[in-house]
């Protein structure tokens, strides 16, 4: 069983907006006497406010992080996700010991290599080669150990032609290439990477993700990865940590964490009832719901059972056959998957309709999905459109152990006919 290599307990970080210190020498002295000499709580932090950038607030003290608790085990690849200003970069700086916490404790077992900003840990006057040795020395490596890795680092970075040029003359992309190569190849137990990889080109980003996957899965080192690219997080990481307003809102498997983050809240309802806003001249939309065949709406949707989509709609026109219902379905990345309609299957009637579309068992993979609804008139004109009108989550129904040992790639699980003609 893996042992924790990072333990965070009651971690908080406060910043003062607009000025350094409390504003006056007497208040700074009072603060020093209270906290450092008497060992009591800082009185100026009691009025601090949550890190919510969307509100003006009344206090100059802002808690960038507040009461953070979690553990990370050896070999874990953890995606740290959240909106801008959620506290992700502050957390990484604390873990990397770039800054110190206001309260709480961080216990780390092993050396940390971090890539937080373009040029972090580089001396601009030194060449790329000299900075490789500098970074290795900071990590506590001997010169012989660094020399053994040198050619591998230079080759991975792709900046061999400029390796003896002072890095102050590098572009931001070259900076990142060399910095990541150094952080990934030098012998640290923990690798921390912020969104800085976005500076690199697509080819190098793919190369970096592959290297981080090798580090985590092949070498058993721990990776902490901050990114707004959910596809990258899901492909690289096994665990996810969602942050919001300086607090941890979700900590668990990466699929659940990404779904939580993209949905915007902790629950995605499989049923939506509509009010008068959806009462139109030609129709009235009453309800959209999903449930597993024979189950209630309160139970989760399982990938191993048929799933029924119910659309309850009243058609007011005396020629109801003119109207059809069309859905577009999107995955949790917002990518369109397919569309479907009742046009070739069942006609709408005047008055109340409860139109049911059944997805067969094992059609959807576990994950989160969004439906957009279109009401089409005469097969050519949309009289109603609403994107993401309802979201639903399909849970893992359990599967036999096999080659994948977990969730298969993709979003649907079509059942094809197989034959052996020999």
Which residue pairs from 325-328 have beta carbons closer than 8 angstroms and sit at least 24 positions apart in sequence?
A: 325/355, 325/373, 325/374, 325/375, 325/376, 326/373, 326/374, 326/375, 326/376, 327/357, 327/371, 327/372, 327/373, 327/374, 328/371, 328/372, 328/374
Model pLDDT, residue 285: 93
- Evaluate the CA torsion angle 230, 202, 364, 275 in order and state its sign: positive
Model pLDDT, residue 398: 56
The residue with tokens 């707004």 is 228
CB-CB contact of 240 with 233 (8 Å): yes
Q: Which domains does the chain have, with CATH numbers?
A: 4-110+189-263 (3.40.50.300), 271-395 (2.70.50.60)
* pLDDT tens figures, 73-130: 988 889 998 877 788 888 988 998 888 888 889 999 988 888 776 666 788 899 999 9
Estimate to the nearest angstrom the gap between the alpha carbon of 50 and the chain centroid: 21
Model pLDDT, residue 299: 66
Tallying the residues shown for the chain, one arrives at 422
Which among 318, 310, 321 has a CA at the least distance from the CA of 377? 321
Q: How far apart are CA 367 and CA 365, in angstroms?
A: 6
Which phi and psi (to 5°) does residue 388 adopt?
50, 50
* CA atoms within 13 Å, Cβ hemisphere of 247: 8
Which among 113, 110, 108 has a CA at the least distance from the CA of 185? 113
Which residues of the chain, if any, have pLDDT below 70? Answer: 1, 16-28, 30-60, 117-120, 196-202, 262-269, 294-299, 396-408
pTM: 0.59
């Amino acid at each position: 069983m893996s042992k924790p290599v990072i333990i965070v307990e009651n971690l908080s970080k406060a910043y003062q907006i607009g000025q350094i210190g409390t504003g006056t020498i007497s208040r700074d002295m009072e603060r020093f006497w209270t906290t450092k000499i008497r060992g009591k709580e800082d009185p100026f932090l009691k009025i601090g406010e949550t890190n919510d950038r969307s509100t003006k607030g009344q206090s100059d003290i802002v808690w960038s992080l507040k009461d953070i608790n979690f553990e990370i085990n050896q070999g874990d690849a953890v995606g740290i996700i959240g909106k801008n200003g959620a506290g992700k970069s502050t957390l990484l700086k604390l873990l990397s010991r770039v800054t110190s916490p206001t309260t709480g404790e961080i216990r780390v077992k092993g050396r940390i290599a971090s890539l937080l900003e373009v040029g972090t840990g580089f001396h601009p006057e030194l060449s790329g080669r000299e900075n490789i040795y500098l970074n290795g020395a900071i990590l506590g490596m001997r010169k012989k150990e660094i020399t053994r890795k040198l050619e591998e680092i230079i080759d991975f970075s792709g900046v061999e032609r400029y390796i003896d040029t002072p890095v102050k003359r590098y572009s931001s992309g070259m900076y990142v290439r060399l910095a990541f190569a150094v952080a990934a190849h030098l012998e640290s137990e923990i690798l921390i990477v912020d969104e800085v990889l976005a500076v690199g080109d697509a080819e190098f980003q793919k190369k970096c993700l592959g290297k981080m996957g090798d580090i985590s899965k092949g070498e058993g080192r721990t990776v902490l990865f901050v990114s707004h690219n959910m596809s990258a997080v899901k492909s690289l990481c096994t665990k996810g940590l969602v942050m919001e307003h300086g607090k941890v809102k979700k900590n668990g498997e990466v699929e659940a964490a990404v779904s939580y983050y993209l949905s915007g809240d902790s629950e995605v309802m499989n049923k939506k009832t509509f009010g008068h806003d959806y009462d139109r001249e030609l129709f009235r939309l009453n309800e959209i719901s999903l449930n597993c065949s024979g189950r209630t709406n309160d139970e989760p949707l399982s990938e191993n059972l048929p799933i029924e989509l119910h659309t309850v709609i009243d058609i007011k026109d005396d020629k109801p056959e003119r109207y059809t219902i069309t859905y577009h379905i999107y995955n949790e990345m917002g990518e369109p998957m397919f569309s479907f309609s009742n046009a070739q299957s069942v006609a709408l009637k005047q008055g109340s309709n409860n139109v049911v579309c059944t997805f067969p068992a094992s059609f959807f993979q576990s994950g989160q999905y969004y439906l957009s609804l279109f009401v089409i008139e005469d097969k050519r004109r949309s009289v109603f459109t609403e994107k993401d009108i309802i979201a639903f989550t399909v849970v893992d129904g359990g599967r036999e152990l096999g080659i994948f040992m977990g969730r298969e790639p993709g979003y649907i699980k079509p059942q094809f006919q197989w034959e052996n003609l020999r």
